[in-house]
Structure 1
Amino acid sequence: MAATYVTAATLKASLGVGTLYDSYTWIEDTCQAAQDLINGFLWFDNAPVVGTALVNNVATVMVANPGIFTTGQSVTVAGAGSTFNGTYTITGTIPFSTGTANILPAFNMQLNYWQFPQGYSFIQYAKTASDQNFRRVLPYGTMSGDDTKTATYANTPAINAAALMLAENIWTSRFSTQNGGTSVDGYSPSPFKMSNTLMASVRGLLAPYLSPNAMVG
């Protein structure tokens, strides 16, 4: 899917490159890179997947958020391994939600139905595959509910501006890795365009839309 926060046409117009790179995917890839970076800071209906297990064709996914999803809801799992990735309908949750039909499999922890690690929840759905003992997912995967935000974010001027600025920096860093800017005393603490100041340069634009998780640290 083509990037929507900043389009290839917008970036081409800003860079003044015309049709020079039309035979390559570089422009679109740059737009998508900017959108992916911004999405990591925006607020969506998702949570990290930190563990998985599968017993008797019932998948159980450990999510680092208590009670964010409910039975009957459709969710999309990504980055948790091919067995668990995909879109599924939830059949059970712990903590309990109305309609929960399954029970927790044999995890390597002693839990009653009313006890679960603080800050975590378990999501279950039907999955025909070989049994798998509980294992960590590193780096964390993601479980996402309905996406009601991407289209809205794509039509938010501040986010469009931030995406364009990032895309311009990503593109121009191919030819010049440094900004060349210095402070009044001649010192440049982080001169590289792709350094830790990359997101800092647009954080003010994104501030009203930041996920609480992106505000930690």
Structure 2
Amino acid sequence: MSGRSGARPAAGGGRWVDVDPPRLTRWLDGFVQRHGSPETESGLVITGADGVTAELTPPPGVGPVATIDELIAAAKLPHRIGLLLARRGAMAVGVAFGDEIEVSKVETFYVQGRTAAGGWSQQRYARRRDNQATAATEKAADIVARVLLPSVTRITALVCGGDRPMIDAILADRRLAPLLEHRDERFLEVAEPRFAVLEEAAKAARNTRIRLSD
């Protein structure tokens, strides 16, 4: 997740590229070399001589920036963000300052997999699985409250990743309402949450996301 990832298709056309702070200036120089000196530059959008555009989205936690130079400077600074990663069987939550994890908690849960059995047995397993998933979500919300709420006034963004329905279910807990105003729209694709995955997520959250036109 960290560093610069390969291009990925973007909904509505074009493709996404994530670039980490140390490489951002170099990437922009490369854009000019590949597409020609910008014909136009408006805010965080540049258009090469060949008509290809690059629209830059600041990393989570970076305040309002009006120009690409401001974005480059702000992206290099460390920002304190909350991280919440969750999948069916595990979660990782923490507070990161730049690339460093200041406080964290990793937890695993037992949620039974789907069964191929039919009839009454299938219904019984489904109920048990739903109960286990509900218990896991409640336990996860307890952990998030302990880890993130003490820092809610100091974080500039909450970045989530993993399984979106589970994340939404965790954050639906009323105790966590103060975190919602910090939730960033960026959602990370992550492996099974572990501490190493949380560290990678902290680095990935610092990337500038760039949408390139076709």
State the TM-score, normalizing by the size of structure 2. Answer: 0.24
Higher helix proportion: 2
Tell me: higher relative CO, structure 1 or 2? Use CA pairs within 8 A at least 6 residues apart. 2
Higher strand proportion: 2
